[in-house]
């Protein structure tokens, strides 16, 4: 599986934040994490943006840019993965200083990614 990160360059994601539409560069998104109906977008500059939008909706928008669903609560931009740890509880990926657990059903995607 080869991910073409150049597709991310210059692309914007429109989000509604506090009743205002904001455009963020897709290439600056490190990962997204949901808690109920609120999704938090984590950016490379450590900014966090809370959005009232389902993670599934973001998954539909960002998959074409190489983003991968890691588990039922997280989508990651593989461009920013700094490490993958194998533990007795499964795999954990590292992005910046954060650790995100990879579900057993999604682990194969990260195995394919690490081979390339």
> 89: domain range?
5-115
Q: What is the pLDDT of residue 5?
A: 63
Model confidence pLDDT, tens digit, residues 99-113: 888 887 777 666 655
Residue 92 CA to residue 84 CA, distance in Å, equals 6
d(CA 114, CA 111): 5
Q: Please count the structural domains in the chain.
A: 1
CATH code (residue 23)? 2.40.50.1020
Q: Write down the residue that tokens 């990651």 correspond to.
A: 76
Question: Contact 74/103 with Cβ under 8 angstroms?
Answer: no
Task: Look at the block and give the residue holding tokens 């809370």.
Answer: 50
* 84-86-89 Cα angle (round to 5): 125
pTM attached to this predicted model: 0.84
12-54: pLDDT as tens digits: 999 998 889 999 999 999 999 999 999 999 999 999 999 999 9
Find all residues with CB under 8 Å of 70, minimum gap 6, and list them: 31, 76, 93, 100, 101, 102, 103, 106, 110
């Amino acid at each position: 599986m080869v991910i073409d990160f150049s597709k991310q360059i210059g692309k914007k994601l429109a989000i509604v934040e506090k009743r205002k539409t904001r455009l963020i560069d897709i290439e600056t998104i490190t990962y997204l994490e949901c808690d109920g109906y609120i999704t938090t977008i984590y950016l490379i500059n450590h900014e966090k943006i809370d959005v009232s939008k389902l993670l599934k909706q973001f998954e539909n928008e960002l998959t074409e840019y190489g983003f991968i669903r890691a588990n039922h609560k997280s989508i990651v931009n593989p461009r920013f993965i700094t490490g993958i740890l194998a533990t007795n509880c499964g795999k954990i990926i590292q992005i910046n200083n954060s650790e995100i657990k990879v579900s057993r059903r999604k682990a194969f995607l990260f195995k394919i990614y690490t081979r390339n």
